[in-house]
Amino acid sequence: MESRPADSPLHVLIIHRRNATEGYGAYLRREGFRVSEANDTDDGVAKALALMPDFIVLDFDLNGETTIRLKAHISTRGIPVLALAKMAEVRAKGAVPTGSAT
């Protein structure tokens, strides 16, 4: 991984379905991150290979195939991936019990 100056903002790639994780990009930009976005797995993997972001924020619904493809490629396997979703969607899928503190 290339070294970056300490004051250089981190680059994040957000891979999501349109409008599914609305607001993450705007929030991260306000916090000083450089943000690129992709709208599906194919676009996201291509952009990850081209941009080599510091980390990836991934729509929970795209987590399986996208993560497998990112981790299978030697160039992107070391990039941290955070899978995020709207909490209501996570609960609906049974990933977090209703009434949980998280």
The model's pLDDT over 56-92, given as tens digits with 9 standing for 90+, comes to 998 877 778 899 999 999 999 999 998 886 655 555 6
- Stronger pLDDT, 16 or 76, i.e. the higher one: 76
Q: How confident is the model at residue 16 (pLDDT cuts 50, 70, 90)?
A: confident
Residue 93 has pLDDT above 70, yes or no: no
- CATH number for position 50: 3.40.50.2300
- Is the residue at 98 inside a domain? no
Count CA within 13 A, CB hemisphere, residue 60: 17
* Cα torsion angle, 29, 33, 34, 40, sign: negative
Taking a C-beta distance cutoff of 8 angstroms, is the pair 76, 48 a contact?
A: yes
Higher pLDDT, 93 or 61: 61
92 lies in some domain: no
For the entire predicted model, the pTM comes to 0.72
| Contact (CB, 8 A) for 59 and 25 | no
Q: Which H/E stretch holds residue 51?
A: helix 41-51
